[in-house]
Amino acid sequence: MMTVNALVRRHWLNLGLLGLAGGLAALALFEPGRERPVEAPTLMDLAPARVERIRVERPGQEALAFERREGRWWMTAPGSGPANPVLVDSIPQLAAARCRLRYAVTGLDPKQLHLDPPRLRLWLNDQEIRFGATTPTDGQRYLQVGATIHICTDSLYPLLTSSAASFLTPSIQFPPPNARSGD
């Protein structure tokens, strides 16, 4: 049978091991001596909510133009009418994209990256984004903003090259009230 003294020692031993495990967990969590990675800056110094005009130049296709009217997007070219918010609301979000890799234009050949001439040009208000080729390894896209080339996730290019008519809000046609199905 254990004595009270042995139980107290075992209790202190367990508390000591618990403290040691907690200290090691804290050390692993905080990793002293290792710098935290700096968050990549946004693609543009423009908040998506401040975008009022969108223009897209697509070689070989009709140009697209949208403007915000009373909080809703309207297509102004090539057609005119309310724009599909599911599609258009994602476009201004590109301004806030965080792309880990970026390089000065002077260090790269824009022609080789298909940025001169670009595959697509997008203006958010009056700020231009040039879309180039995709990277051969992971399919990210080269984007040029001013004198900087960014390598970003390619989420908008397929949308921006789709049919212009798809950007208009579909109209819902209801049958006349007296119409019966099957007649």
Q: In the beta sheet, which residues pair with residue 42? A: 98
* pLDDT value of residue 174: 59
* pLDDT value of residue 5: 80
Residue-wise pLDDT for 127-138, tens only, equals: 999 999 999 999
The full set of domain ranges for the chain reads 48-167
Q: Mean pLDDT in runs of 10 for the chain (183 residues)?
A: 74 87 80 72 94 97 96 94 94 94 93 96 97 94 96 94 92 64 52
* pLDDT value of residue 175: 64
* pLDDT value of residue 107: 86
* pLDDT value of residue 179: 55
* pLDDT value of residue 11: 83
